[in-house]
Amino acid sequence: MSNLTDVAEITDRGLLEIAEHEGIVPAPYRDSVGVWTWGLGHTAAAGGPDPSKMNRAMPNDIDAAIEEVLDQFRIDVARYARRVGDAVKVALKPYERDALVSFDLNTGGIYRAKLTAAINRGDADASRHFFGWLKPPEIRKRRTAEKRLFETGDYDANGDEIAIWRTNGQGKLLGVMTTIRGGELLERLHGKPVPDAGLEPLPDLEPVDEALRQVEARTLDLADSVATMRQKFDGVA
């Protein structure tokens, strides 16, 4: 298995950004505008399997289904990264490319978007055109994250966990069934351990736990003291 980032020119943070936006759905479903979708945002427009013609039942072997999803995700990300490279004629920073790959994977609009034309002209405020693609309305959060990423390099995803959704077997999402850690997702995508995905480390909770234990101990001591004083007071009374 080849290293996906060598092929697709997208960073590991970019992969996690898309994965957290999309979530993993191992059975076909209709998105908010009725488009049949599967896996990590895969639709028939991306080429390859047509989700509307796939078996709609939830797979029995979820782990094997996730591997199939990741295989297609590699293909899709590489395709959309090539489209971005073809449409954009100026040099891009890695995080700018990540934002545009996320945008195109979701919209398929990189060739016709005012955003692309503005970037190619060198417009300082080109990123405002991310907001030219706000249908359906609930996509605003993703467009906002893509715009911020393009402008600042601030990734919305922290790689903590990516949702794995279940469906009713008839194309409707029912809810999150489990999650997968970002580090594990990257290892499975690359086919090898990823020593440093550039993620923010999770906080060390041991000092917090110790502080809570100390507070609990002091609280119990105080309760014992109050009980002793009450007994003495009752005896005097």
What is the tens place of the pLDDT at every residue in 80-122? Answer: 999 999 999 999 999 999 999 999 999 999 999 999 999 999 9
Query: What is the model's pLDDT at position 194?
Result: 59
Q: What is the DSSP string of 159-199?
A: SS-EEEEEE-SSS-EEEEEEEE-HHHHHHHHHTS--S---P
Q: Give, for 28, the enclosing helix (H) or strand (E).
A: strand 25-30
- Judged by DSSP in three states, 227 sits in helix
Q: 52-83: per-residue pLDDT in tens? A: 999 999 999 999 999 999 999 999 999 999 99
Q: Where do the structural domains in the chain lie, given as residue ranges?
A: 4-190, 203-237
**DSSP E strands: which ranges in 74-226?**
162-167, 173-180
Considering only the top CATH level, what class is 4-190? mainly alpha
CA distance 21 to 140: 12
Q: Which pLDDT does position 6 carry in this prediction?
A: 41
Residue 127 banded pLDDT, cuts 50, 70, 90: very high
| Ramachandran class of 34: left when φ > 0, alpha when ψ lies in -120 to 50, beta otherwise | left
pLDDT digits (tens, 9 = 90+) for 9-27: 799 999 999 999 999 999 9
- Give residue-wise pLDDT tens across range 162-215: 999 999 999 999 999 999 999 999 999 998 775 544 444 444 445 645 655 665
Q: Given a cut of 70, is residue 131 above it in pLDDT?
A: yes
